[in-house]
Amino acid sequence: MKITLALLAVAGLAVAAPAQQTPTKSADAAPVASAPGGDIPAKFIPPTMADDYQRREVMIPMRDGTKLFTVIVVAKNAKNAPIVLTRTPYDAGSRAKRTTSSSMLSTLPLADEMFVRNGYIRVYQDIRGKYGSEGDYIVTRPVIGPLNKTKVDHVTDAYDTIDWLVNKANLPESNGKVGMIGSSYEGFTVAMALLGPHPALKVAAPESPMIDGWMGDDWFHYGAFRLANIAWLGGQTGYKAKGSVPPTGGYDDYDNFRDIGSAGAWADKSGYSQLPYWQKMLAHPSYDAFWQGQALDKLLAANPSNVPTIWEQGLWDQEDMYGAITAWEALKAKGKTGNNFLVMGPWRHSQINREGRSLGPFQWRGDTAEQFREEMVLPLFNQYLKDGPAVTLPAATIYNTGENHWDRFAQWPLACDQGCASPLKPIYLQGSGGLGFEKAGAGEDSYVSDPAKPVPHLPRPVNFGDGRWGDWLVSDQRGVDGRTDVMTYETPILSEAVRVSGAPIADIFAKTTGTDGDFVVKVIDVYPDENATDPKMGGYQLPISLDIFRGRYRDSFAKPSAIPAGKVQRYKFRLPTVNHVFQPGHRIMVQVQSSLFPLYDRNPQKFVSNIFLAKKSDYTKATVTIERGGAQASAVWLPVVAVDQSAAMVK
């Protein structure tokens, strides 16, 4: 019936229309013809009269004559305004444009809203060699010196950019003061600028910065290579602008990478062997001078700045878990606590630029990312860039992931292996899958680690584009609990709360029938079996700290050596920082395994000179035996402190 009425309506309109229409022509109207190039003009310029801002695109010259593409977004009524600068390899043009809008508040990214409301000039710049900038792009370009024979680096480029921006002839609306901010690679460029800061750089916020790509950031963790990040190489270094990455094959990346073999075999298959940076990594699988010379924590400690700096890191950052706290600790050791502040929130990588109300199934108290931006970053920037009111940030602001609130510490960490008020406390692996603070009798637990059946880091199928990448570090570990190649140890149900505040240290004594091998250690909060409010959270196994260690580096990160088969060796390594309370009714769990795939490449478990070049025939099963109790008691040294820490808090 509706169709009939619609057809009648259309028919009625047709009947009502005149049978023939003769176009009228004004006496002075000129005939309309297409331009010589068709209906697309040589240049179309939308009107901007209604915009409350100006977007300027300029090429800023560096000291070697190279010009860098820079986008300046400034309010039309701006006067005596401070500048916030971000240097990026991810396209300054699009980074400075969330939407097409006449409103500056709407056009810039969410994390910039606070700067817009407070009258800042926002600047994004392509680093040299990427997108609109001239020059050669080098991944994490080293500082001038043995690894960089030129006379330019990110230090000089940041300096020259700031020097241009604060020149009134170039940006008359500015007050001559600049702050830098950025996450991930953009955080790396902030940290680099601190090695030789321009006098106009008054404040900085490196967020989840890449500080040491071998020890614990993007590329490796203690020598184990991160296959999850390998696709970045193709998109980032295969093209000057944005580029596609080669397909991995089927949907399950677990199968794709396992079937191909080594990371080197994957690089050959995907064409990555053409990429200069892959060739550099291939030539430097160990922590040699190439990686040591780029370790920014050491460079920052050797050249500490006086610029007030807020170092940010997510407690579950799946990409750059290592950098911010390591840099902050290095500066703290140099006595630079007065101008360096640490913030660690309940976030995945770069979540501080988005909403921070939750991570996976876990809900936090409010938008924690907005709290960081509005209550920590903005007041500090206002103080140093706008002569705003002085603020007092604690030495460390760490989210308490067990009690669900922020903790503000005058000193941090609360417990550590040396130099803290409290020492670390070992929790020992015990027989029958037990775990406790008392050392038990000597014993062993064995499992077979098979490279043909590695332990997945997420339940299969694993696809790096399936939306689980950002939250995987809070994923329920029951997905692997019960596998014969995963050793699980847990305490009885806790009758009292246990608070941990610092960095745990894995201390594993083990022997293997192989001549190489990896060790993955996880510290897990096991929830009560029943949860009436949210039944699916009953028994949830939440990892609060985990990492991987490649066994060939047990004696030296720079000089790997084969593991003597059948002989007990010690594998001791630091795990990511925690600030957590295990609540009564929960359990503490430790899991030990030898693979975490396809996040990390598989160890062949047979010593080869370069695992990148391992052949399929090199991958062999190995029986791994964990020692517990006695003189070689495997444990995790936990930063256990008193539950009541009110005296240590900044009010």
The whole-number average pLDDT for the span 607-618 is 98
Question: What's the pLDDT at 651?
Answer: 79
Work out whether strand 174-183 and strand 201-207 pair parallel, antiparallel, or are unpaired.
parallel
Question: Which CATH architecture describes the domain 226-287?
Answer: Orthogonal Bundle (1.10)
Question: What's the pLDDT at 12?
Answer: 37
Residue 122's nearest CA partner among 60, 179, 54, 72 is 72
Task: Enumerate the domain spans of the chain.
Answer: 53-215+290-412, 226-287, 416-642
CA pair distance 614, 76, nearest whole angstrom: 60
Side chain identity, residue 108: L
CA distance readout (Å), 603 to 23, 34, 275, 584: 78, 65, 24, 39
Q: What confidence tier does 1 reach under pLDDT thresholds 50, 70, 90?
A: very low
SS3 490: strand
The whole-number average pLDDT for the span 381-404 is 96
Q: Is the pLDDT of residue 20 over 70?
A: no
Cα 561 to its chain centre, rounded Å, is: 30
Side chain identity, residue 241: A
Q: Is the pLDDT of residue 26 over 60?
A: no
Secondary structure element (H or E) that encloses residue 175, with its range: strand 174-183
The whole-number average pLDDT for the span 309-338 is 97
Under the phi-then-psi rule, with left for phi > 0, alpha for psi from -120 to 50, and beta for the rest, what region is 573? beta
| pLDDT above 90 coverage of the chain, percent | 87
- Which residue did the predictor score with more confidence, 39 or 651? 39
CB proximity list for 559: less than 8 A, separation 6 or greater: 286
DSSP string, 521-552: EEEEEEPPS--SSSGGGTT-EEEEEEEEEEGG
For residues 546 and 594, the answer to whether their CB atoms sit within 8 Å is no
> Do the domains at 53-215+290-412 and 226-287 have one common CATH topology?
no
Question: What's the pLDDT at 501?
Answer: 98
Counting DSSP H helices and E strands in the chain, the numbers are 15, 30
CA pair distance 276, 307, nearest whole angstrom: 35
Residue 270's nearest CA partner among 280, 283, 256, 282 is 256
Question: What's the pLDDT at 611?
Answer: 98
Name the CA dihedral angle for 450, 519, 632, 483, rounded to a multiple of 10 degrees.
-50
For residues 460 and 252, the answer to whether their CB atoms sit within 8 Å is yes
Residue 644 burial (CB < 10 Å; 0-12/13-18/19+)?
Answer: exposed
For tokens 């043009």, the residue is 93
For residues 407 and 500, the answer to whether their CB atoms sit within 8 Å is no
Work out whether strand 425-429 and strand 635-638 pair parallel, antiparallel, or are unpaired.
antiparallel
The token duo for 8 is: 């009648």
pLDDT digits (tens, 9 = 90+) for 248-302: 889 999 999 999 999 999 999 999 999 999 999 999 999 999 999 999 999 999 9
State in words which class domain 53-215+290-412 has.
Answer: alpha beta
CB proximity list for 651: less than 8 A, separation 6 or greater: 408
Note the residue count of the chain. Answer: 651
For residues 402 and 583, the answer to whether their CB atoms sit within 8 Å is yes
Question: What's the pLDDT at 334?
Answer: 95
Q: How many CB atoms lie within 10 A of CB 72?
A: 24
Q: Which of 35-49, 82-96, 207-221, 543-557 has the lowest mean pLDDT?
A: 35-49
Residues pairing with 67 in the sheet: 61
Name the CA dihedral angle for 417, 304, 196, 213, rounded to a multiple of 10 degrees.
0
Question: What's the pLDDT at 647?
Answer: 86
pLDDT digits (tens, 9 = 90+) for 448-481: 999 999 999 999 999 999 999 999 999 999 999 9
For tokens 């295969």, the residue is 238
The whole-number average pLDDT for the span 582-586 is 98
Q: Tell whether omega for the bond before 199 is within 30 degrees of 0, i.e. cis.
A: no
CA pair distance 484, 91, nearest whole angstrom: 47
Question: What's the pLDDT at 32?
Answer: 61
The whole-number average pLDDT for the span 121-141 is 97
Task: Please give the backbone phi and psi of residue 296, each rounded to the nearest 5 degrees, phi first.
Answer: -70, -25
For tokens 């399936």, the residue is 466
Q: Is the pLDDT of residue 443 over 90?
A: yes
Handedness of CA 298, 299, 304, 305 (dihedral sign): negative
Question: What's the pLDDT at 249?
Answer: 87
CA pair distance 498, 496, nearest whole angstrom: 7
Task: Please give the backbone phi and psi of residue 590, each rounded to the nearest 5 degrees, phi first.
Answer: -125, 130
CA distance readout (Å), 118 to 50, 95, 110, 386, 640: 21, 20, 14, 9, 42
Question: What's the pLDDT at 22?
Answer: 44
pLDDT digits (tens, 9 = 90+) for 195-240: 999 999 999 999 999 999 999 999 999 999 999 888 888 888 989 9
Q: What confidence tier does 31 reach under pLDDT thresholds 50, 70, 90?
A: low
* Protein fold of 416-642: Jelly Rolls (2.60.120)
CB proximity list for 21: less than 8 A, separation 6 or greater: none
Q: Which of 50-59, 190-199, 238-247 has the lowest mean pLDDT?
A: 238-247
Residues pairing with 54 in the sheet: 74
Q: Is the pLDDT of residue 7 over 50?
A: no
CB proximity list for 241: less than 8 A, separation 6 or greater: 91, 130, 131
CA distance readout (Å), 24 to 27, 28, 199, 651: 10, 12, 69, 79
| pLDDT above 70 coverage of the chain, percent | 94
Q: What confidence tier does 33 reach under pLDDT thresholds 50, 70, 90?
A: low
Q: Is the pLDDT of residue 40 over 70?
A: yes
